[in-house]
């Protein structure tokens, strides 16, 4: 049969993304069923400008048609160590493409790039199993659920104990939830206090401010108060019909005395329902950690995250987390630092903990 008149399909081209293509790539991410807030170019720009890591995004093209993206950053560690991460400081990442074969091609290209750069590994923070022969990690789970159609359904849908604690916070302690970017300083202060207590470095103020600058109308900051006293705060991101509760902090002792966190997340979900959001993303936690159990206590079911590692120079995936008993001495020492010193060191060390 003659093939006269049939145009050959354009060849697949894999290449680095250009900043001038950000709007095109963001549109692709938002239209993709597995696209996330952290695949957007604004997150990459925040990481570049605040932490000094290098953008090495990859794109797949067929002619003028964008058919795949892999947001990717070269992260610099101490003593010259480097790794490629999709995406740093983020819960989610990994390849997005029109078909699995294109996702494999993007990951393979990232591996080639990693070998050329001499990185320790390539890390893909995938939500779903990418179906690739890479080293898996079962360290984290995420928590996402559908929101009710009516704000009253939030409290009604909580487990009995959590519901009683949230109701007590509202009715007895008279806690209130307020929204505004001007609460950012309260959030930063309490976030850093909590990280200090847990024995981990926090994030510099520029990190939070840059997120606000990059996303502005898609970022919300909420504060829980009793009278005029701040008790807890949370920064959330809007992505499509989902509200993502991402950074949070609580005044030490406020959960014990006022059930501040129980109230905050209940009230935040009510606020989300009122504004038309359909899903609430409680984000990741280390499996079996305190945060993991708290989210289950609130009625959320864990969903394992399918993080994957392509090992280049390293022989094993990184394990510098609180789950590793070897970090206990460091965490204990950090928690004993004066708050001012922990804050100053956090500003320097955050770059090495992406």
Model confidence at 1, pLDDT cuts 50, 70, 90, reads very low
Of the candidates 61, 32, 49, the one whose C-alpha atom is nearest the C-alpha of residue 89 is 49
Question: Taking 60 as the threshold, does the pLDDT of residue 3 lie above it?
Answer: no
Model confidence at 315, pLDDT cuts 50, 70, 90, reads very high
Counting every residue, how long is the chain?
354
Same-domain pairing of 44 and 129: yes
Same-domain pairing of 163 and 225: yes
Q: What is the pLDDT of residue 323?
A: 74
Same-domain pairing of 154 and 264: yes
> In the numeric block, which tokens belong to residue 223?
């504060």
Same-domain pairing of 116 and 193: no
| Residue 125 domain flag | yes
Angle at CA of residue 353, ends 260 and 198, nearest 5°: 35
Q: What pLDDT digit, counting tens, does each position of 96-128 carry?
A: 999 999 999 999 999 999 999 999 999 999 999
Same-domain pairing of 108 and 228: no
Q: What pLDDT digit, counting tens, does each position of 198-220 carry?
A: 999 999 999 999 999 999 999 99
Cα–Cα distance measured from residue 197 to residue 195, given in angstroms and rounded to the nearest whole number: 5
| Residue 285 domain flag | no
Cα–Cα distance measured from residue 313 to residue 336, given in angstroms and rounded to the nearest whole number: 35
Residues 217-234 have a mean pLDDT of 97
CATH number of the domain to which 195 belongs = 3.40.630.30
| Residue 189 domain flag | yes
| Residue 92 domain flag | yes
> What mean pLDDT value characterizes the chain?
95
Same-domain pairing of 19 and 135: yes
Q: What is the pLDDT of residue 4?
A: 56
Residues 312-321 have a mean pLDDT of 88
Same-domain pairing of 132 and 167: no
| Residue 251 domain flag | yes
Q: What is the pLDDT of residue 2?
A: 45
Model confidence at 321, pLDDT cuts 50, 70, 90, reads confident
Same-domain pairing of 117 and 171: no
Question: Taking 60 as the threshold, does the pLDDT of residue 259 lie above it?
Answer: yes
Beta bridge partners of 58: 16, 70
- 41 sits in which H/E element: helix 41-51
Q: What pLDDT digit, counting tens, does each position of 330-352 carry?
A: 999 999 999 999 999 999 999 99
Same-domain pairing of 313 and 261: no
Which domain, by its residues, includes 87?
12-140+305-318
| Residue 339 domain flag | no
| Residue 298 domain flag | no
Same-domain pairing of 129 and 189: no
Ranges 53-62, 125-134, 136-145, 211-220: which has the least confidence: 125-134
Same-domain pairing of 85 and 154: no
Q: What is the pLDDT of residue 10?
A: 86
Model confidence at 80, pLDDT cuts 50, 70, 90, reads confident
| Residue 217 domain flag | yes
Same-domain pairing of 199 and 230: yes
Number of domains in the chain: 2
CB 234 within 8 A of CB 268: yes
Residues 84-90 have a mean pLDDT of 98
């Amino acid at each position: 049969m003659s093939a006269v008149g049939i145009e050959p399909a354009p060849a697949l081209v894999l290449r680095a993304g250009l900043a001038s293509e950000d709007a095109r790539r963001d549109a692709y991410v938002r239209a993709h069923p597995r696209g996330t807030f952290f695949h957007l170019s604004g997150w990459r720009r925040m990481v570049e400008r605040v932490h000094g890591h290098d953008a090495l995004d990859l794109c797949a093209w067929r002619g003028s048609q964008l058919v795949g993206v892999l947001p990717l950053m070269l992260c610099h560690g101490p003593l010259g160590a480097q790794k490629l991460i999709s995406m740093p400081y983020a819960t989610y990442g990994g390849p997005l493409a029109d078909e699995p074969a294109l996702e494999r091609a993007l990951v393979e290209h990232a591996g080639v790039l990693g070998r050329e750069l001499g990185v320790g590994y390539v890390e893909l923070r995938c939500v779903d199993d990418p179906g690739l022969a890479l080293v898996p990690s079962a360290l984290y789970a995420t928590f996402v659920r559908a929101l009710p159609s009516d704000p009253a359904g939030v409290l009604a849908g909580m487990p009995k104990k959590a519901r009683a604690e949230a109701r007590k916070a509202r009715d007895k302690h008279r806690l209130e939830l307020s929204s505004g970017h001007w609460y950012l300083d309260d959030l930063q202060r309490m976030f850093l206090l909590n990280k200090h207590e847990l024995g981990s470095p926090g994030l510099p103020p520029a990190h939070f401010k840059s997120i606000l600058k990059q996303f502005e109308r898609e970022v919300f900051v909420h504060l829980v108060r009793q009278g005029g006293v701040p008790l807890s705060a949370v920064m959330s991101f809007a992505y499509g019909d989902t509200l993502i509760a991402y950074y949070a902090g609580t005044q030490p002792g406020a959960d014990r005395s006022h059930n501040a966190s129980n109230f905050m997340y209940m009230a935040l979900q009510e606020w989300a329902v009122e504004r038309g959001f359909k899903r609430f993303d409680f984000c990741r936690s280390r499996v079996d950690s305190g945060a993991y159990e708290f989210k289950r206590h609130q009625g959320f079911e864990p969903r394992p995250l399918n993080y994957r590692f392509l090992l280049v120079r390293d022989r094993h995936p990184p394990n510098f987390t609180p789950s590793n008993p070897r970090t206990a001495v460091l965490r204990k020492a950090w928690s004993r630092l004066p708050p001012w010193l922990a804050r100053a060191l956090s500003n320097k060390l955050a770059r090495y903990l992406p």
